[in-house]
Amino acid sequence: MTFLITGATGSVGRHVVDLLVAAGAPVRALTRTPDSAALPDAVEVVAGDLLRPDSLLPALTGVERLYLFPEPSTAAQVARLAAQAGVRRIVVLSSDAVTEGSDPDHHRPVEEAVERTGLDWTHVRPGEFAANKLSVWGSSIADAGVVRAAYPDAVGAPVHEADVAAVAAAALLEDGHAGAVHSVSGPEALTVGEQVRSLAAGLGRELRFEEVTPAAARADMIEQGFPEPIADYILAFQASWVDRPAAVHDTVERLTGRPARTLAQWAADHRADFR
Ligand SMILES: NC(=O)c1ccc[n+]([C@@H]2O[C@H](COP(=O)([O-])OP(=O)(O)OC[C@H]3O[C@@H](n4cnc5c(N)ncnc54)[C@H](OP(=O)(O)O)[C@@H]3O)[C@@H](O)[C@H]2O)c1
């Protein structure tokens, strides 16, 4: 039974690959750039581009279970091709923003395309990735040991990418997940100040929190290279967590038998990335 992992070089996908390989499953990994994919030797690496569905045909041949990285523009075609190729089960990397009703255009269309195939499906809906702390705060942490953020009372529950992958791997490997929607979060609801303290503990260094206005936080992100719509999106969900804290789900523990990793653990795993 071959497993095809799309997004295999991504932060979640690499862990999915490793978990499947560790379970002894035959893994085929899709990437647009096989030469630089740096995937384990046990993996069959194939070229393909989700934006060009026909390019996926060789990768889909003989596949029974598919981990699908979300690309809404071609999801309907990709899901149809997967069904025609004989795929039986699709696990979608989605987003808990769908649950919250704040993501009508990106992840939900992918989920719907997969549901329409009539194949077994499971939707994995993570909340905010802990990795966002690196992309948004990483440079000021590395440069000055400071986190500049708006909305100090916003409460998030950032999730370790390895835990998102563990849930996806369970849905790929085990039976009993057909038609399930798995919301995935970190184990703790944390204000921004608590997040900064967790990062400091995991990184083993002192960090300072400095509240800035939303406009200044936006300008910071744009200066770091975030496109304006993404900066606005990030600020909007941070603002929404002031009145409505991010949900904490027990999915990781329920499915894997061990607690979800804390933000401090995530930071410890990523010390090198913050240098
Ligand atoms: N950040 C968050 O807080 C958050 C929260 C909820 C959900 N999510 C979802 O998680 C996703 C990120 O997952 P991740 O961190 O594992 O990925 P990632 O590290 O951003 O890497 C992107 C992956 O997608 C692959 N990819 C991108 N475009 C492709 C295309 N046209 N054809 C084939 N492969 C393509 C890349 O493969 P190659 O470059 O090797 O081809 C790479 O493996 C987001 O896009 C979002 O949908 C994120």
pLDDT value at position 53?
Answer: 98
What is the percent of the chain where pLDDT is above 70? 100
Ordered domains of the chain (ranges, CATH): 2-126 (3.40.50.720), 131-158+187-246+261-274 (3.40.50.720)
Helix and strand counts by DSSP (H, E) for the chain: 12, 11
Q: How far is the CA of 107 from the centre of ligand 1 (A)?
A: 12
Q: Token pair for residue 91? A: 């696990």
In sign, the C-alpha dihedral spanning 248, 250, 256, 258 is: positive
CA distance 109 to 71: 9
Q: How far is the CA of 127 from the centre of ligand 1 (A)?
A: 14
Is residue 69 within 6 Å of ligand 1 at its C-beta? Answer: yes
Over the Cα atoms of the chain, what is R_g? 19
Is residue 73 within 6 Å of ligand 1 at its C-beta? Answer: no
**What global pTM score does this model have?**
0.98
Q: How far is the CA of 93 from the centre of ligand 1 (A)?
A: 9
pLDDT in tens, 90-146: 999 999 999 988 888 999 999 999 999 999 999 999 999 999 999 999 999 999 999
φ/ψ bin of 38: left (φ > 0), alpha (ψ from -120 to 50), beta (otherwise)? left
Q: Report phi then psi at 259, rounded to 5.
A: -65, 155
Is residue 100 within 6 Å of ligand 1 at its C-beta? Answer: no
Average pLDDT on 74-79 reads 98
Is residue 8 within 6 Å of ligand 1 at its C-beta? Answer: yes
Q: Token pair for residue 35? A: 């030469």
CA distance 2 to 46: 13
Among 100, 98, 58, residue whose Cα is nearest residue 81: 58
CA distance 123 to 37: 26
Instruction: Name the residue at shortest CA distance from atom 19 of ligand 1.
Output: 10
Q: How confident is the model at residue 236 (pLDDT cuts 50, 70, 90)?
A: very high
Average pLDDT on 220-241 reads 94
Bridge-based pairing of strands 146-149 and 2-5 is unpaired
Q: How far is the CA of 7 from the centre of ligand 1 (A)?
A: 6
Is residue 84 within 6 Å of ligand 1 at its C-beta? Answer: no
pLDDT in tens, 143-172: 999 999 999 999 999 999 999 999 999 999
Helices (H), the chain: 11-22, 57-60, 75-85, 97-100, 107-116, 131-144, 161-173, 192-203, 214-223, 228-243, 251-256, 263-269
Q: How confident is the model at residue 185 (pLDDT cuts 50, 70, 90)?
A: very high
Ligand 1: nearest atom to the Cα of 14: 16
Per the prediction, the chain carries an average pLDDT of 97
